[in-house]
Structure 1
Amino acid sequence: MSAGEAGDKPPGADAEVAAIAAGYAFTGQALDLGALLWDGRCRADAQVRIPLPMLNRHGLVAGATGTGKTKTLQLIAEQLSAQGVPVFLADVKGDLSGIARPGQAGERVRGRAGEVGQEWTATGFPAEFLALGGLGHGVPVRATITSFGPVLLSKVLGLNQTQEQSLGLIFHYADTKGLELIDLKDLRAVVAFLTSDEGRPELKDIGGLSTATAGVILRSLTAFEAQGMADFFGEPEFDTADLLRTAPDGRGVVSVLELPAVQDKPLLFSTFLMWLLADLFHDLPEIGDADKPKLVFFFDEAHLLFDDASKAFLDSITQTVRLIRSKGVGVFFVTQTPKDVPSDVLGQLGNRVQHALRAFTPEDQKALRATVQTFPKSSYDLEELLTGLGTGEAVVTVLSEDGAPTPVAATRLRAPESLMGPVDAAELDAAVRASALYGRYAQAVDRESAYERLQRTRAAAPEAAAEAPRAAKAAKAAKAAKSGKSGKEEPSLVEQVVGSGMFKSLARSVGTQLGREITRSLFGTARRRR
């Protein structure tokens, strides 16, 4: 039955409404989404909610452009913060910064609140504003090349499988030799060294690095840097533990990653979000089921992460999403249609808020039918309903307190209590400078790493070469001056050269962590020591 139908109330309608309402009448803490839509009317007596403990079972917020997905994110984030749960929001369009300021009570807000039975109060929430590499208004978020890893970097650079494997070999060499890859110039230096006459033998026993593949990697890095991406990689590296903070009043901090400045680099920011999630995954302890999540992570423009992804990459995403639940982290993917998310991932998203879909083309019709098939059976005509929903309305099904899906409910959503729109740039900048994180991350640091060490190695090479003849001459003189009766064997030429101060200095410059490889996660991201 369509929620938009008018006319006489069919027999048994009250029983169906009561059954749906009972499916959302949870006994524990829950977030209020809105009120049930039935036969064209908003039923304030039938509230639609999500149990707080089920927020770490992941979810999907989907719908066509302009249907209200962003306001749904804001509504859920506000209530999570109020319950003491930190939230991470990717703000692609730049209109979520208003969550830090109280909303404005207008006629539309009052009307919506009255329809859904909401006691609306203008409220601002504790917020932290972040920006990738400092591009935009926010505390800079950076990652080192070493921590980012070869798998995620390959996706950002658009490398094929063979090139990705070669990049993994390069990371393996750098890890074992203690050559820290902090920024792009470090990686370029290592690639150039491994294709030089001096460095080529280093990888000979494990497959080597072809000149052609190295050329592709170097050209991709150059193009990447020319697009202004160099600022994203470097130090100080962002500590994802800073996403787990609460405010002094006990409310969860809402970390808003401002992304408008990199809207034309969608693949970069989607992959960077995956780095944040992967980093959280291998840093957090197992906690199992908890009364509330430690963090809820909203992954906007999720389809970009899955576009052109290899099977191995998709498998890693699936495993990360599956396992991170037991560490208390909930992940909500935000996209236009459920078909944007692979079925193995979609099957783990128990909480669904589906806004309106368009059906203007045969492809749209196909997507609509596929979306309907992902919902539990209901008395709604979902194909008709999903094309007729208004802005701020959605079809909802979530996991109940015992883990079973709730009845499908057409829902008129509540109005956010914070400002539904961006704050001005000056106010945003002032908030960033006042942040406790600003002093830790604002200023970039360029310490000694692979680039500097390899440069010093190259400069020291002529002196090391000159040391060998001198050592040989000294050994010959020492042998002639001493009697062979001493019974003590003279050191060989090789031993003298290896023992020389110049050689030891050269060895130290190649790496201070020789033989100690970095442990890497499913995505090849490095496990850091805090």
Structure 2
Amino acid sequence: MVDENSILIGKSQDAFEKILLKYANRHGLIAGATGTGKTVTLQVLAEGFSNAGVPVFAADIKGDLSGIAANGEAKAPFVKRAEEIGIEYVPDRFPTVFWDIFGEQGHPVRSTVTEMGPILLSRMLELNDTQEGVLNIAFKVADDNGLPLLDMKDLRSILNFLVEQAAEVKEKYGNVTKDSVATILRRLLVLENQGAEHFFGEPALNINDFMHVDRDGRGVVNILAADKLMTKPRLYASFLLWMLSSLFEALPEVGDPEKPKLVFFFDEAHLLFNDAPKALLTSIEQVVRLIRSKGVGVYFVTQNPVDIPETVLAQLGNRVQHALRAFTPRDQKAVRAAAETFRKNPEFSTEQAITQLAVGEALVSTLDDKGTPTVVQRTLIAPPSGRVGPLTDAERAALIKSSGLMGRYEEAFDRESAYEMLIERAELAAQEQDSENSGGGITGWLGSILGINLGGGTPAKRGPGRPRMTVSETVIRSTTTSVANSVGREIGKVLTGSTSTRKGASITDKAIQSATSSAVRAIVRNILGGLTKK
């Protein structure tokens, strides 16, 4: 770091090129062809932010970034580059926490289905507008009925519930077809086969666990193992966008702080925008534009600036462009487009320079003291202090085990949610139906003795020749049912021994004594008397 207020990137012909911490939340871009040094530049910036006390989150696509947790080596190329820039090469290691959606190379990362939300989930499932509408209805029905959606089986249960209650759902929320639900369920199965069941569940990630500093005041570098995740691009892109959205919702407004609260590196950023619907692009643009006021800087890492939509690209104030190759007309067009994103330097052609950069060189433009983009400069990138290259499996395992977060997320649990609640409701409904079919328990039993229907269930459907009950019949039925219920309670008290009576009294006497109504006493006497004779 050149000074305490900036992050060193490297050195141009006349000066150090740096990112001012007060403008680091204005986002940035690291671009360049494969093998031109993007990952090393990412590591240099991550180390600089860590030294400045700023936590970092970065996706590690190839595993190379994990070396930041181990001391670097004073190799000849690094020492030489440091001398060329005019700094001393000092090997160092940085506080690092490893994360992994699959729980294999780091602490597990989980979210609930509710936290992911229907929009991002639709993106993951590649749903059309109609299917996305059904998914939105599923979330709304779950919310209105107190059915938490935590994992995949909860989501499947609520979707099946929509089909079973299609008529009622249509009346209040809109039409839900079996075909749409079946398509969503098939897509869920595909997502599960990609490993998404590891991501949905509890304990859910506390986003604040990404924002720690160590005892020395250095920001923790959070590294997401993404080598396996990259084979599921939809899951990868949706996960990272969910993280940004969660940060945006969780963090308070801070305006322009002296330094960011967190810096977020989004590698292979083009995956976020590939085939993204317009509504999602609008959402991404809004999050990127507004999250800077929460003190979060977002840095996209990709091969070419044209991978980023113009509305998002316009938000990126700090830019590092490594070499691009121009072998085809399409490549040449991409080079011109990349050159046009910089403020021109009259001393050289930006378009030509992009194709001539060596490995470890880049064109750099950042925001100056007034927040204005600087003239683009051809820059030698500083060497990283940590190891360049991956940790061994043993080194990674040791760091994970010694992490202060060890044990917080490792053990998954499954509390009662939509799946269990819907099963319980179905069982209760079945029991009630069985009770109605068998005559309604003790009330039905008493009704059979008295020769009346006291089941309390739904009345039999009336046929064309069956007359509606008169008002008198309705009153008699209601009164008789009330009396029968009282009788049942009084007999139940006797049989369970909860009624206190004189010593030596018979069951009939006890029931009669405990009854408070003369009508009830008469019925109890007749019923128990008849039972005694039998």
TM superposition score normalised by structure 2: 0.82
Residue pairs, 1:279-290, within 5 angstroms: 279-290=246-257
| TM-superposed deviation, 1:480 | 11
Distance change in 2, residues 1:491/1:336 (3 Å): farther
Aligned to 1:396: 364
Query: What is the identity, as a one-letter code, of the residue corresponding to 1:65?
Result: T
| TM-superposed deviation, 1:133 | 3.2
| TM-superposed deviation, 1:343 | 0.8
Aligned to 1:34: 10
* 1:271 paired to 2:238: yes
Cα distance in 2 for residues equivalent to 1:352 and 1:284 = 26
Query: What is the identity, as a one-letter code, of the residue corresponding to 1:307?
Result: N
- SS of the counterpart of 2:18? strand
Cα distance in 2 for residues equivalent to 1:286 and 1:222 = 39
| TM-superposed deviation, 1:377 | 2.3
Q: Gapped runs of 5+ residues in structure 2?
A: 455-471, 486-534
Cα distance in 1 for residues equivalent to 2:52 and 2:273 = 32
Aligned to 1:453: 421
| TM-superposed deviation, 1:56 | 0.3
* 1:120 paired to 2:96: no
Query: What is the identity, as a one-letter code, of the residue corresponding to 2:52?
Result: Q
- SS of the counterpart of 2:224? strand
* 1:479/1:490 contact within 8 Å kept: no
Aligned to 1:429: 397
- The superposition leaves residues 188-225 of structure 1 with CA deviations (integer Å, 9 ceiling, x where unpaired) of 111111112x4552343221211111011000011221
| TM-superposed deviation, 1:185 | 1.0
User: Which residue of 3, 9, 18 corresponds with 1:49?
Assistant: 18
Aligned to 2:431: 463
Deviates more, 1:68-77 or 1:178-187: 178-187
- The superposition leaves residues 255-290 of structure 1 with CA deviations (integer Å, 9 ceiling, x where unpaired) of 011111222112211210111111010000001111
Cα distance in 1 for residues equivalent to 2:34 and 2:310 = 22
Cα distance in 2 for residues equivalent to 1:192 and 1:384 = 59
Residue pairs, 1:245-256, within 5 angstroms: 245-256=212-223
* 1:75/1:415 contact within 8 Å kept: yes
Distance change in 2, residues 1:80/1:475 (3 Å): farther
| TM-superposed deviation, 1:479 | 10
Cα distance in 1 for residues equivalent to 2:356 and 2:229 = 34
Residue pairs, 1:409-428, within 5 angstroms: 409-428=377-396
* 1:99 paired to 2:75: no
* 2:52/2:219 contact within 8 Å kept: yes
Q: If you compute each CA radius of gyration, which structure gives the higher value, 1 or 2? A: 2
- SS of the counterpart of 1:438? coil
| TM-superposed deviation, 1:467 | 4.1
- The superposition leaves residues 211-262 of structure 1 with CA deviations (integer Å, 9 ceiling, x where unpaired) of 1110110000112212332111111101111111110111000001111122
User: Which residue of 189, 192, 197 corresponds with 1:230?
Assistant: 197
Cα distance in 1 for residues equivalent to 2:49 and 2:480 = 71
Distance change in 2, residues 1:158/1:491 (3 Å): farther
* 2:2/2:8 contact within 8 Å kept: no
Distance change in 2, residues 1:54/1:480 (3 Å): closer
* 1:194/1:203 contact within 8 Å kept: no
Query: What is the identity, as a one-letter code, of the residue corresponding to 1:398?
Result: T
Cα distance in 2 for residues equivalent to 1:358 and 1:491 = 91
- SS of the counterpart of 1:96? helix
Query: What is the identity, as a one-letter code, of the residue corresponding to 2:25?
Result: N
User: Which residue of 333, 338, 343 corresponds with 2:300?
Assistant: 333
| TM-superposed deviation, 1:434 | 1.4
Cα distance in 2 for residues equivalent to 1:410 and 1:228 = 43
| TM-superposed deviation, 1:174 | 0.9
User: Which residue of 367, 371, 383 corresponds with 2:334?
Assistant: 367
Distance change in 2, residues 1:76/1:463 (3 Å): same
Cα distance in 2 for residues equivalent to 1:106 and 1:435 = 29
Aligned to 2:490: none
Aligned to 1:240: 207
Cα distance in 2 for residues equivalent to 1:246 and 1:200 = 54
Distance change in 2, residues 1:215/1:404 (3 Å): same
Aligned to 1:522: none
Higher RCO (C-alpha under 8 Å, 6+ residues apart): 1
- SS of the counterpart of 1:133? coil
Deviates more, 1:272-281 or 1:222-231: 222-231
Distance change in 2, residues 1:82/1:62 (3 Å): same
- The superposition leaves residues 66-90 of structure 1 with CA deviations (integer Å, 9 ceiling, x where unpaired) of 1111011100010110010000011
| TM-superposed deviation, 1:478 | 12
* 1:177 paired to 2:145: yes
- The superposition leaves residues 85-131 of structure 1 with CA deviations (integer Å, 9 ceiling, x where unpaired) of 00001101111111111101111111111111121100000000000
Deviates more, 1:460-469 or 1:246-255: 460-469
Cα distance in 1 for residues equivalent to 2:169 and 2:16 = 66
Residue pairs, 1:305-320, within 5 angstroms: 305-320=272-287
Aligned to 2:109: 141
Cα distance in 1 for residues equivalent to 2:123 and 2:21 = 34
* 1:144/1:234 contact within 8 Å kept: yes
Cα distance in 2 for residues equivalent to 1:475 and 1:418 = 84
* 2:102/2:195 contact within 8 Å kept: no
- The superposition leaves residues 35-76 of structure 1 with CA deviations (integer Å, 9 ceiling, x where unpaired) of 11xxxxxx3x52111111111000111111111110111000
Residue pairs, 1:66-85, within 5 angstroms: 66-85=35-54
* 1:88/1:298 contact within 8 Å kept: yes
- SS of the counterpart of 1:195? helix
TM superposition score normalised by structure 1: 0.82
Query: What is the identity, as a one-letter code, of the residue corresponding to 2:85?
Result: V
Cα distance in 2 for residues equivalent to 1:410 and 1:492 = 95
- SS of the counterpart of 2:15? strand
Aligned to 2:163: 195
- SS of the counterpart of 2:64? coil
* 1:342 paired to 2:312: no
| TM-superposed deviation, 1:158 | 1.2
- The superposition leaves residues 403-435 of structure 1 with CA deviations (integer Å, 9 ceiling, x where unpaired) of 111111110100000000111011101111211
* 2:344/2:350 contact within 8 Å kept: no
| TM-superposed deviation, 1:473 | 5.0
* 1:85/1:295 contact within 8 Å kept: yes
- The superposition leaves residues 297-347 of structure 1 with CA deviations (integer Å, 9 ceiling, x where unpaired) of 001111111111111111111111111111100000111111111111111
* 1:132 paired to 2:108: no
* 1:145/1:182 contact within 8 Å kept: yes
User: Which residue of 91, 96, 118 corresponds with 1:150?
Assistant: 118
Distance change in 2, residues 1:27/1:438 (3 Å): closer
Distance change in 2, residues 1:428/1:28 (3 Å): closer
Cα distance in 2 for residues equivalent to 1:231 and 1:490 = 55
Aligned to 2:28: 59
Aligned to 1:378: 345
* 1:159 paired to 2:135: no
Cα distance in 1 for residues equivalent to 2:330 and 2:200 = 39
Percent identity, aligned pairs only, is 48
- SS of the counterpart of 2:440? helix
| TM-superposed deviation, 1:449 | 1.2
